[in-house]
Amino acid sequence: MPKKTPRRERKPDDTQNAHILGAGEVVRQPVTETMEHNFMPYAMSVILSRAIPEIDGFKPSHRKILYTMYKMGLLGGTRSKSANIVGRTMQLNPHGDAAIYETMVLLSRGYEKLLHPYVDSKGNFGKAYSRDMQWAASRYTEAKLEHISAELFRDIDKDTVDFTENYDATMLEPTLLPVSFPSVLVNLNSGIAVGMASSICSFNLGEICETTAALAKNPEHDLGSTLLAPDFVGGGQILYQRELFEEIFRTGRGSFRIRAKYTYDKASNCIDVYQIPPTTTAEAIIDKIVDRVKAGVIKEISDVRDETDKSGLKVTIDLKRGVDPDQLMRRLFRLTTLEDSFSCNFNVLINGTPRVLGVRELLLEWITFRVGCIRRRVTFDFNKAQDKLHLLEGLAKILLDIDKAIRVIRETDEESDVVPNLMIAFGIDQAQAEYVAEIRLRHLNREYILKRTADVGQLRRDIADMRDILGSEKRLRDIMIAELSKVAKDYGRERRSEIIYACELPEETAQPAADYPVQFFLTKEGYFKKITPASLRMNDRQKCKEGDKIAQAVEGSNVCDLLFFTNRCQVYKAGADDFEDTKASALGEFIPARLEMEEGESVTAMVVTKDYSGYLLFAFENGKIAKVELSAYATKTNRKKLIRAYSDKAPLAAVLHLPADGDCLLSASSGRRLLFHSGAVAPKSTKDSQGVAVMTLRRAYRVEDLRTYREGQFQNPNRYRTKNLPAAGVLLAEEDRGEEQLSF
């Protein structure tokens, strides 16, 4: 036996943690308890304090940076070094300077991500539309707040929002900003939390303010009449479908398409793309075009390059002679991210609870929030005015006999008795007496006192007006509407994103896909690969996720149709040319996500065809087989999904595509095999037929597999045949076991 290493005794100073009770002990703890005590607090912190914006439109990191800049006096005047701003922000945000600086960059005008940026930047702040154009270090750039940021902090010192202590309780910071416009929908905002995410598109400021004002007057206002569609700082063309946007506005979820804008230079025979979707970059578009050209899918392009400069984005595509630029762009819209989808998920924290809201509900929540801010502001002014009136009323009593006030003060022996003596002499309270006692001797004259008390009447009228405002919801909303109108007038701009109706777009002329041989691979977990023979010759070792393996390998061509049958008795159709050529070393594309399958739906089988000839055999675990002509799945329209693709009366064991009738081998979990001719099974006219019984099974067993019989697979194939169906099949002969194992 190996000699045990003697345990080293720990000296009192052996480690700095020697005094910690239980240090170094291994404690057994249920995983559920560990999740509850460790993971759940982390998840809640990410959701509530990091990734999801609140009703004011900001995440905590945004709010801390903007408030720090506001307290630094950067709302006006000269810019400050970004490094200085980042350092000061760390008093509120105890994260690394790199994370703070990146957040500030995303808020800046120079980065060009926000429709209405909040940070006025100077220097290289990178570009949102470029993957490679990175921002300079914080020591080289400068920043201050944009003019519109004044609307974020309007009346913040008048108790409009709550304040809380920072992480070390040395400062106070606002929990929300009293924004005077719905910034939550004016600027792009996205975040990924734990188990949830948020993706809010930007809208035109003028349209949002008009819609919010209309909703404040009438909660049933028709949103589509004032809020047309989103608006992005990068412009582009939004493909408008009324029903689609009505659904997004109603539920806060959905996606819409946005495409790039371009011009054609006839003299140079090139296309200049100058606006792209917000979900992509110039480099990603160029890479996609290059890949398509190399694959032979696009042959009309001679060169593509990035000519972005200080004047803005520009991707130039040189064309070959005689190419129709508009027709080519329609193909590029389909094949590249020059046209992309923007997914909406209006997930916002409302009173500390994440909620996915439609536009109407979100704006109504903002109206409630803003009216609350205005009420708190009016209450603050009301209390201040009342206090001022109370002091001036005491001062007015002094006006009756200034000489008496001077005499009382002069004849008082001790300083502490001045205030009580004034209270007794003029019948005023302590606050009024303190105010009078603090007046300088030079101001104890009739002129000064008359000037100070002249506005008492106006002050009383203001107090009465403020009391009326606090008692009227309508007046509070009128104030909010007036402020919205001013914001729209001062900062509103024309739309940048053009709205085009999808139904009016010219259809793309069908371009035949490049026809070349490929091999298709499908894994058990649903990953798909399309690989050319040349690529396979270089490396045929297939890479799969841990625990996954290749389930099907089918030879075909790039013009084939692919049918993916799922566990929900549905089939999804796609063209082989819809998928990129890949390599054996890649994981492939996850089919349920690519074809937008339902939640929990998975791929069970893949069928490859060119002309929909032949048959499909559906083998069910109960021993029945349904034979359906493949032409039943050919559709005249471009439907991508067919329901009731096969029967749901019994679990599906296998799907087999036969170009023509032939011998098939059925395998059961009992180890029995049955060899039969598919011609013995009559085809059914309905796709979801239950089929006919082919193999009889005992209760504990089920059919596991169905495949075509290879000539020579068994030494005596007649052993496994039968004259009549259904049949029980026979166990494998000893001489066939090796062949059978090799074939699986």
The neighbouring-strand residues paired with 560 are: none
User: Catalytic site residue 140?
Assistant: yes
Catalytic residue among 70, 129, 140, 501: 140
d(CA 177, CA 115): 19
d(CA 680, CA 664): 11
The neighbouring-strand residues paired with 589 are: 528
d(CA 335, CA 260): 13
Is residue 225 helix, strand or coil? helix
Q: Which two tokens stand for residue 37?
A: 């005590």
Contact call for residues 729 and 674 (beta carbons, < 8 A): yes
SS3 breakdown of the chain: % helix, strand, coil, rounded to 5? 35, 20, 40
d(CA 662, CA 41): 61
Beta strands in 391-465 (DSSP E): none
d(CA 119, CA 89): 14
Contact call for residues 130 and 281 (beta carbons, < 8 A): yes
Amino acid at 588: G
Contact call for residues 92 and 64 (beta carbons, < 8 A): yes
Q: Which two tokens stand for residue 277?
A: 């979707």
Of 440, 429, 441, the closest CA to residue 397 belongs to 429
Contact call for residues 672 and 731 (beta carbons, < 8 A): yes
d(CA 521, CA 529): 5
* Strands laid side by side in the 517-523 sheet: 550-557, 517-523, 527-531, 589-590
Report the relative pairing of strands 197-200 and 703-708 from DSSP bridges. Answer: unpaired
Active site residues: 140
